[in-house]
Amino acid sequence: MCRWMGYRGEPIVPRTLLYEPERSLIAQSVRHGPDLLEPNGDGTGLGWYSRRETPAIFHSDSPAWGDENFRELADEIYSPMFLAHVRAGTGTPVQKTNCHPFRYQKWLFVHNGYIDSFDLLRRDLLMAVRPDLFSNIKGSTDSEVMFHLALTFGLADGETLFAARYASGPVVNTLYMSESVDAIRMLYPEHERLRRIPADARAVLSEPLSELPGVWREIPPSTALVVTDTPHQRPFRPQPPG
């Protein structure tokens, strides 16, 4: 399964979360779980917001752990909100157009999981995408189709940083969010790396970046998490279109 993370808060250098933690996203791309046969080496991507409303994106079809351009960007960008993704393909080609995040106007989208029997459903799902969005689909993944279906049925009316977990699925599909940084610093005053994280920082991700108890909180199945200054959860129960 893919792995990803999102950040919102005072601007930081993405390297702080992508490379520095003991279980950073880059480390996860190499040291995959015992139940996974392959590492997350089918490409990587980073999308970030900075000087303009439309986010910038970087895609690479190389494994994240060996991509020097990705490392350079993660050390140079200074952003208040970004999404990063390391890909483990589920049958579609390893190519840049299949790497996350996917972008449409001010929106970025990453995904962990897959649509079962996508080959059988692909035509019908593509035909349900709004016509003016169709030309924005560049690759062949189920994730990109899912993004454009979400846009078709109202995603663009939502909030700033949004994460959802639908159905139960394996543990690797679980989402976590960080507790407040001030609370974490009180729990671990000796942890020097926490001093470099802004007090208003929020991270949403597919797997914890550390083993520190009390830092990460699981998002229950069928739940949406809206990450604003005060993150909140709400039921996530997609309905068939009328």
Which residues carry out catalysis? 2
Three-class DSSP category at 32:
coil
Residue with tokens 């808060």: 9
Helix axes 118-127, 142-152, angle to 10 degrees: 30
- Of the candidates 83, 111, 108, 126, the one whose C-alpha atom is nearest the C-alpha of residue 169 is 111
Residue 165's Cβ-side half-sphere holds a number of Cα atoms within 13 Å equal to: 20
- Relative to beta strand 56-60, strand 79-86 is unpaired
**Rounded CA gap, 85 and 79, in Å?**
16
